[in-house]
Amino acid sequence: MTVLRRSQRTMLRTAVLPALAILSILKPGTVRADEYDDAREQHPALFQAYFDEGLLEYCGMLTSEAAGGFRLRRDDLLTQEPMTVEQHRRVRVAAGIAIDYQYDNHGLGGQRLWCSTAGRDAYNRFVGRYLAQPDVRTNSSETP
């Protein structure tokens, strides 16, 4: 095993490593990093429904009524704008990524305020939708 001298290590850091970084950026066939951003932009209402459901889950507010309201909203949106299984998956993943980032960004103290404001708003929207559909309320066996 060869031991590099200090001058050799410095040359490696200053010349070779930046060149490798540039080559890795220019490498063809890389995976598009914005595939989930595209899903978010193409289906904003469905993205928001999944985001809100994730928010309720993080905040511990996902009751059976809220979950029922989410399902009603999701199903209405999918009926209005049918999509492939892959498109639907990408929207769900995009919302999951976004809610994870937001959860982390709020920190332990900020999460309480986030849940009491944005979480409460999402909860009220879903529960309001659920309670407005009396024929659906009788089917309590459906899971989220």
Residues 131, 132, 134, 138: what is their CA dihedral angle, to the nearest 10 degrees?
-40
Q: What total number of domains does the chain contain?
A: 1
Residue-level pLDDT at 117: 93
Q: Identify whether 77 is part of a domain.
A: yes
Per-residue pLDDT tens digits of the chain, which is 144 residues long: 444 454 544 444 455 445 444 444 444 444 444 678 888 899 999 999 999 999 999 999 999 999 999 999 999 999 999 999 999 999 999 999 999 888 887 766 678 888 999 999 999 999 999 999 877 545 544 544
Q: Identify whether 124 is part of a domain.
A: yes
Domain of residue 94, residue span = 35-137
Residue-level pLDDT at 113: 87
The answer to whether residues 127 and 63 touch, using CB atoms and an 8 Å cutoff, is yes
- Exposed/middle/buried for 73, CB within 10 Å: 0-12, 13-18, 19+? buried
Both structure tokens of 132: 């407005």
Q: Radius of gyration (Cα) for the chain, nearest Å?
A: 23
Q: Identify whether 101 is part of a domain.
A: yes
